[in-house]
Chains A and B, each alone.
Chain A
């Protein structure tokens, strides 16, 4: 029973992890840009949800579309006016640029909204489904459900629509897609905007299960990276699988070693997957970056 609880906890945690990593995976996979400000985007999404909840009383889960729309705009502006200018640069340049943006966003949040911890209290927050000794919180199941829905929506977008095909083309070959007439700049803008929207959705869902502060996103950056590597770059289902895998690994590690070593375990998982199967669980060979 105890093992089953660890498994359930891991899968539910994996739901949040998957949606957090989805945006990072999209940006990294298509543009080869390490978006270090991803944590800050998640934090922004959480704050927007918080303000929608406290000022207008909009429930966090119903606010997700609004948050996604706002973050879509933010992402599009960022990409168009800042990141597009370094999109062809080596990884060092883009990483340090996005780190600068990260510093900017966190400091703006500190100044605008103070470093106090905020939280969202919803009526159904504490309820859980109890099956014998197994405890399954309602909120987390809802989060997993929305994660799966968003993953499906993203998959349909990438595989069925014209813009989705353009994004896949950019991923395969930038020069080739330019030759057949894809507007790389616009495609990158839409790609980053979607990634920011997903980060916003992740922030919304996080805001229900943890306290909100300007520094809440920082810890998730490396986890997103590990999840993308675990699952395989260039594959949406891969990120989902990677998220759930990392959730289970972390859940087991917390149960055995205690909460202090989660980051070290995640790093160990990263090393393991890079040594055993560098293109990830659902990745394809030649699709990994930099190796």
Chain B
């Protein structure tokens, strides 16, 4: 069989399996897979902006929170149904990203990294303080769906799965198009890119808005799934760093990388959460340090190098590549 035939067949089999699983597996596994899909969307969306334009954003969780709060406010304060809430959670973060891009793209390099980190914190602060609209620190409780737990599990499973598939397809199409070419040009040399006529600001804004759209939708679904949101858990820097670490762990600059990274990290996280609750953040920290020092290319690099390419020598090379 040709390689595209093998690839399509694998994808088809995997998708069929994913569609069938919630009808046979327990609620725990369904919810776990829903969380995995959520991180799949987040990492793909982050990779679209951070991995392909080279602007490393530490504050993407800002759009997640804005999306979550848009849905929450639509459903509680304005009493609109869920599909409008979901549309709001797609639209509002995109508009916010459009507005933010005027400020954020004045920053470059180191300043952009810290600036994006600060944006998430600023949003958290503002949302906490606008108690008349967002209930501030008390959080918003969403209206519950009148269905059973099992049906709910399946509903959110498929919601997240469909969004994940849509995100993956969008990222794939965007990356292989003119836009993807512009993004990679910006990543590899912004000055050169604008010298050959690419309107860097336009493409960066486009990338950020598209990224914010998907992150926002995820936030909206998350709000309805978890039924309670507050500034500290939807504007949590932990979600930002998880997005980054998953992309890094899976392999930067690849399409399959974030998917691998999200799955592996969620799986490990679930295992460690159960056994080592008190130190699981420390384990995440150590894992970050080890991955950055010893395998900066991520799991995809291990996969592409194959068995012959991995050796102590290679790890040592990675360690000392940037040594002073």
Which A residues form the contact surface with B (CB < 8 A)?
28, 32, 34, 82, 84-89, 91-93, 95-97, 99-108, 110-111, 184-185, 188, 221-222, 225, 229, 260-264, 266-267, 270-271, 274-275, 289-291
Contacts and interface: CB of A to CB of B under 8 A. Distances in A.
B125 A91 contact: no
Contacts of B110: 28, 32, 34, 91, 289-290
Interface string B280-324: 111011111100110010000000000000000000000111111
A28 B109 CA distance: 13
A113 to B, nearest CB: 12
A222 B120 CA distance: 11
Given A97-B289, A271-B106, A291-B109, A260 B58 contact: no
A86 B293 contact: yes
Contact of B288 (A89, A103, A107, A108): A103
Nearest to A95: B113
B115 interface: yes
Given A85-B293, A93-B322, 7 more contacts: A87-B324, A88-B322, A97-B292, A107-B281, A270-B115, A289-B110, A290-B109
B126 A96 contact: no
A187 B89 CA distance: 50
Contact of B284 (A32, A89, A103): A103
B114 interface: yes
Given A89-B322, A290-B111, A100 B58 contact: no
A96 B108 contact: no
B129 interface: yes
A184 B322 CA distance: 13
13 contacts: A34-B113, A85-B320, A85-B322, A88-B324, A93-B322, A95-B58, A103-B281, A104-B286, A105-B285, A222-B114, A264-B126, A270-B111, A274-B111
A188 B319 CA distance: 17
A123 to B, nearest CB: 35
A92 B241 contact: no
B322 A108 contact: no
A263 B289 contact: no
Interface string B110-152: 1111110111011001101100000000000000000000000
Nearest to B323: A85
Q: Is the interface of A mostly helix, strand, loop or mixed?
A: helix
B252 to A, nearest CB: 9
A101 B126 CA distance: 28
A103 B106 CA distance: 29
Contacts of A97: 288-289, 292-293
B281 A106 contact: yes
A32 B322 CA distance: 13
A4 to B, nearest CB: 28
B289 A222 contact: no
A87 B321 CA distance: 10
A185 B324 CA distance: 6
What 4 A-B pairs have minimum CB-CB distances, sorted nearest first?
A290-B109, A100-B288, A104-B285, A103-B285
A291 B118 contact: no
A263 B118 contact: yes
Interface in B10-61: 56, 58
Contact of A103 (B58, B282, B321, B322): B282
A261 B126 contact: yes
B322 A87 contact: yes
B6 interface: no
Contact of B128 (A32, A82, A260): A260
Contact of A93 (B129, B286, B296): B296
Given A92-B113, A93-B296, A263-B122, A84 B282 contact: no
Contacts of B109: 91, 289-291
Contact of B289 (A82, A225, A261): A82
Contacts of A261: 125-126, 129
A220 to B, nearest CB: 12
Contacts of A264: 122, 125-126
B292 A86 contact: yes
